[in-house]
Structure 1
Amino acid sequence: MTKVLSGVWPLLLGILLIMLGNGMHFTLIGLRGDIEGFSAASLAIVTSGYFVGFLSGARLTPLMIKRVGHVRVFAALGSFMSAGLITFPLLTDPWVWTLLRVLIGFCMSGIYVTAESWLNYSATNNTRGKVLSAYMIAQTLGIIGAQGLLTLGDAGTSALFIVASILVSVSFAPILLSVTPAPVVEMARPMRLRELLATSPLGTVGIFLLGSIYATQAGMGAVFGTQAGLSTTQIALFIAMLFTGALIFQYPIGWLSDRMDRRKLIFLIAALGASSCILGWFSAGDTRLLMLSACLAGGMTTPLYALFLAYTNDTLTPDEMPAASGGLVFTFGLGAILGPLITGWAMQSFGAFAFWPTLGATFIAIALFALYRMTQRASVPLADTESYLSVIPTTSPVAVEAAGTWAVEHAEAERDETTPRSDEASRHESGS
């Protein structure tokens, strides 16, 4: 593993620093918005703006790279993002913040596309799986670490926004000083929604609903914390627990994914996610129960994203996977735009703890739809399934396509290893 990381550590370090800055800003929006007197509905619109920009960036960045190259695009997006972070405390208006969030979402999406294309170019078929796993861990650790930094300052001043901007600015140094030119990003045109639905109804509907869940957790978690009366330290811990759960449960769920019917596993994970929301709903006044519910809710969300991608790929040919990956990322983004708006309205109407029933209802919808799909189509034999994709919701179509390629190659390699043994066993039995 050390040898694998030796060639990509500057990229991973840069991504870690970017996620420290971006993770700080996500929580700061909720903290500073409460200080400024913004309503839950207003902050929901601000949150959704990020994902509007994110979708736009995923579509436009490849065109920008073709025109001026990776380095210029990467540097320009980093500059705009750093400037946007500093502007938040200067112009405290919900509509200005929404525009700034669109800008930052666009920049982050473009940064992901650029960095992931470099990362994919640096990896080989043998190392791609490990590199993608390290990339996922670096992103998640960055978000978790960002919450610790929030406890060192006051959200009512500009200091924390400046720190986030500095982290983003510094993050580009190890990347730009070490990378070599990468090939032009070539991403397949996303598969149309109608085709996705026909190919994998559960994968398409599930990932749309999951987009709503993820954006609500990441974007409205701090808003919930402020309105529920939590301290800054408790809010930071709450957000950190959402992503700590993702680290804890990613591997065991991935292990189960390659050993059982994925639709049953989707149902079980969604049911556990709904149960965690019930715990959160009844946790008023019990901080330990609240943190446990956050860990479980976040721990079910991120692995479920990778599980939906793997399940959808089981029904596709390798040639269809790139287009389907782009379509699924786009579908996830649509759900991410809608989710905070619904949750913000619910919290505005029924109070802070409406955060949990809204999340729980979406988890239940996923579970019920998974049960329904089990009655409509036979399961794919385990021998024909692709390997679990170790990706998280913040990645761009570049990483999703790379993970899909790795999953196919890994699954084929495993089948090649087991087939000779089976043939040898059959010959031995016939000889006996």
Structure 2
Amino acid sequence: MENQTLKKSVLFVLLITVLVSGISQGLLMPVISIIFEQQGISPTISGLHSAAFYIGILIASPFMEMFIRKFGFKNVILIGLTITIVSNLLFLVFESIFIWFLLRLLIGIGANMCALASQTWITSTVGQKSRGVIISIYGLCFGLGFAIGPYATSLIEYNENLPFLLLACLSMTIFTIVLFLENRHSISYEEQVNFRLLDFFNRFKLVLNYAWVALLFPFTYGVLESVINVNLPTQVLRSNLDLNLIAVLVSVFALGSIIFQIPLGIMSDRYGRRKILAISTAIGTFSFGVGVIFFHNIILLISMLCIAGMFVGSIYSLGIAYMIDLIPKQLIPMGTVLSGIVFSFGSILGPIIGGGLLETIPHFNVLWIFIVLLLILSIVLAKGIQKEL
């Protein structure tokens, strides 16, 4: 009974950690985008600058599997939180765009350490029957934080430093809570001995061979999330729409994902991940299409982003659950790392492509990026389902 209580308490702390991570990401990116837009910095530069966060994730990702096995989940989370706290506080000291780039890169490293350690801790301890639900709850917590975060963008009207102070304080709180957890490692000694017989790149190839389709979803979600955070605020400002609409659009998408995270997780456990992902991407494509056509109809735009969030906002967590279904247990840490890498690539490419298209194509709508990506995913999944039949 004590072990069961311990597991529940650990899960609760990890979910709170993910919640704060969502708040951090949901707040930091739009805040810096708004500051840059007000300073007259071009969308392309803003998009390139936002890539620093995801470059940090990419830098950390190849080493994460080794760090988790060597130091354990708890210690990796604590190191990541320390990096995040210090970096947020340094935003108050420096105003240089280059130094802010470095600070965003460091926050990316710290956030990746927290996210991958928490995610691997959860995925390596839950069974397949409840995997979809648990990972959906994980995604729900991130989505809830992601929805809450943008509402704090209004703090910059009082003082530009307030959002960074808030994020530092939240991270300090989580750091204190995590200190009380018992440290754990990703795999047992016997599994670790066998696991080391494979080198890093062989494990990398194995995961790709088993689950390349599943990895398309973290990539797509990376593009989607970063474009919504970085390019959509710029488009709203350039369309002469209300500044407060930025927080509403970002948060309703996240709200939609919160509403449907657990139901989609339950349905994926029951009917299969591939079928649920195919339906979700098809509905997401339609919703973004309607959003493009009626972009200046605020009520309809908000409604379509909420519906898109309900179905597409879960593709990251469902994609990871799908990947874990496809790979052997000893490859789960590498699969989690690889998910982070492809997510980062998507997150880096998204704002750069979105910013470039906004600057070069008159009246371009960034929602077209989502339509094209989701349509490709729908076709790939539909072909896979036909083969199964």
Per-residue deviation at 1:240?
0.8
Structure 1 residue matching 2:157: 3-state secondary structure: coil
Match of 2:225 in 1: 214
Cα shift readout 1:325-351 (whole Å, capped 9, x = no counterpart):
443443333223222221121112225
Match of 2:161 in 1: 158
Does structure 1 retain, via aligned residues, the 8 Å contact 2:285–2:370?
yes
Does structure 2 retain, via aligned residues, the 8 Å contact 1:228–1:353?
no
Does structure 2 retain, via aligned residues, the 8 Å contact 1:271–1:364?
yes
Match of 1:378 in 2: 388
Is 1:272 paired with 2:283? Answer: yes
Per-residue deviation at 1:280?
2.0
Match of 2:88 in 1: 85
Q: Which amino acid aligns with 1:183?
A: H
Per-residue deviation at 1:324?
4.1
Distance 2:274 2:130 in 1: 27
Cα shift readout 1:201-252 (whole Å, capped 9, x = no counterpart):
5334454344322332344343333333343422111111121111122233
Paired residues for 1:37-48 under 5 Å = 37-48=40-51
Match of 1:50 in 2: 53
- Structure 1 or 2: larger helix share? 2
Distance 2:159 2:291 in 1: 28
Structure 2 unmatched ranges of 5 or more: none
Does structure 1 retain, via aligned residues, the 8 Å contact 2:48–2:352?
yes
Please tell me the root mean square deviation across aligned C-alpha atoms, in Å: 3.6
Match of 2:316 in 1: 305
Does structure 1 retain, via aligned residues, the 8 Å contact 2:220–2:346?
yes
Distance 1:258 1:70 in 2: 27
Per-residue deviation at 1:164?
2.2
Distance 2:216 2:258 in 1: 25
Distance 1:78 1:301 in 2: 29
Structure 1 residue matching 2:183: 3-state secondary structure: coil
Q: CA 1:39–1:139 in 2, change beyond 3 Å: closer, same or farther?
A: same
Does structure 1 retain, via aligned residues, the 8 Å contact 2:57–2:108?
yes
Does structure 2 retain, via aligned residues, the 8 Å contact 1:81–1:104?
yes
> Between Structure 1 and Structure 2, whose CA radius of gyration is higher?
1
Per-residue deviation at 1:144?
1.8
Distance 2:223 2:217 in 1: 10
Q: Which amino acid aligns with 2:50?
A: T
Is 1:294 paired with 2:297? Answer: no
Does structure 2 retain, via aligned residues, the 8 Å contact 1:18–1:171?
no
Is 1:179 paired with 2:181? Answer: yes
Is 1:357 paired with 2:368? Answer: yes
Q: CA 1:206–1:160 in 2, change beyond 3 Å: closer, same or farther?
A: closer
Cα shift readout 1:336-372 (whole Å, capped 9, x = no counterpart):
3222221121112225752111221111121223334
Match of 1:414 in 2: none
Does structure 1 retain, via aligned residues, the 8 Å contact 2:136–2:265?
no
* Identity score, percent: 20
Count of residue pairs the alignment pairs up:
375
Cα shift readout 1:86-118 (whole Å, capped 9, x = no counterpart):
344654454433322211110101122444566
Per-residue deviation at 1:260?
4.3
Per-residue deviation at 1:263?
4.4
Does structure 1 retain, via aligned residues, the 8 Å contact 2:64–2:337?
no
Does structure 1 retain, via aligned residues, the 8 Å contact 2:80–2:112?
no
Q: CA 1:58–1:373 in 2, change beyond 3 Å: closer, same or farther?
A: same
Match of 1:110 in 2: 113
Structure 1 residue matching 2:182: 3-state secondary structure: coil
TM-score (norm 1): 0.73
Q: Which amino acid aligns with 2:382?
A: L
Q: CA 1:258–1:62 in 2, change beyond 3 Å: closer, same or farther?
A: closer
Farther off after superposition, 70-79 or 245-254: 70-79
Q: Which amino acid aligns with 1:167?
A: L
TM-score (norm 2): 0.80
Does structure 2 retain, via aligned residues, the 8 Å contact 1:61–1:113?
yes
Is 1:21 paired with 2:31? Answer: no
